[in-house]
Structure 1
């Protein structure tokens, strides 16, 4: 099983930005740990990050035929990117939306995701561990639909 992890705007600043919300772990350490967690599940992952909406859409398009699932943290694009929503719908690859913080306990504008309806699920508020939960979630989902 092979998954693509897509990180949106400012996720590359983990360990630097708003540590009370996003934690102290650096982006590099986060990626290293996530790859290790995926290996424990016998899953191969590739991790990409972009602050540019069009690049995120290209990552989604390029996943077609290569990846079994996608885990995406669209960052602020969560709240307004119909283009990312459309890309996920177009490729029809099982996708889980992840947020490090609990978006429902934050500012009102953060509580609405236009991306979530294109996904098989959403994980919010478990810190970076939410990505591991998403990996396990996609694995379980794919195993159940392929029985």
Structure 2
């Protein structure tokens, strides 16, 4: 049985490596995509990796994950803190959702501390930098292998 994994990224993450490197590091989203695809494939996942600055496109990708019965690793970025549309779409999933943040959002300003998406996530990985994506994929793999969906 082939497993499906969608690694979804919200607004401004296309600017990683250029945008505030003191906060987000120098790793680019292209590098993260390559690492996620490699690791996901090694663990037996068919991987879709996407980034968008458009909320409606992110919601459509979640709908696609629902139709494909795909697990989701998501860095919703700014949509973490105010997108009820994204939250409602993620609620549909019957598969593991793991939320990733490159920075520790709990150590950020008040606007960036409360993620709506965390309420539907199996796990939240924050502050591990780009490595957080690898950890998130490993969590999804472990949850599925142990049958704890």
Contact 1:78 1:115 in 2 (8 A): yes
Give 4+ residue runs of structure 1 displaced > 6 Å after superposition: none
Paired position in structure 2 for 1:139: 141
In 1, are the aligned partners of 2:66 and 2:92 still within 8 Å (CA)? no
Provide the TM-score with structure 2 as the length reference: 0.91
- Cα gap change, 1:146 to 1:105, in 2 (>3 Å): closer
Cross-structure match for 2:16: 14
Equivalent in 103, 106, 126 of residue 101 of structure 1:
103
Is the Cα–Cα contact under 8 Å of residues 4 and 67 in structure 1 kept in the other structure?
no
SS at match of 2:47: strand
User: For residue 53 of structure 1, what is the aligned residue in structure 2?
Assistant: 55
* Correspondence 1:82-121 to 2 at 5 A: 82-121=84-123
The partner residue of 1:26 within 2, 25, 28 is 28
Structure 1 stretch displaced more, 68-77 or 21-30: 21-30
Name structure 1 gaps, 5 residues minimum: none
What is the aligned residue count? Answer: 147
**1: CA distance between counterparts of 2:129 and 2:112?**
16
Q: Structure 2: give runs of 5+ residues left out of the alignment.
A: none
Residues 8-58 of structure 1 show CA distances to partners (whole Å, capped at 9, x for unaligned) of 001111101010111111221221122222233333311011111111100
Offset at residue 67 of structure 1 (A): 4.2
Partners of 1:118 and 1:131 lie apart in 2 by: 18
| Displacement of 1:92 | 2.8
TM-score by length of 1: 0.93
Partner residue in 2 for 1:41: 43
CA-atom RMSD in angstroms: 1.6
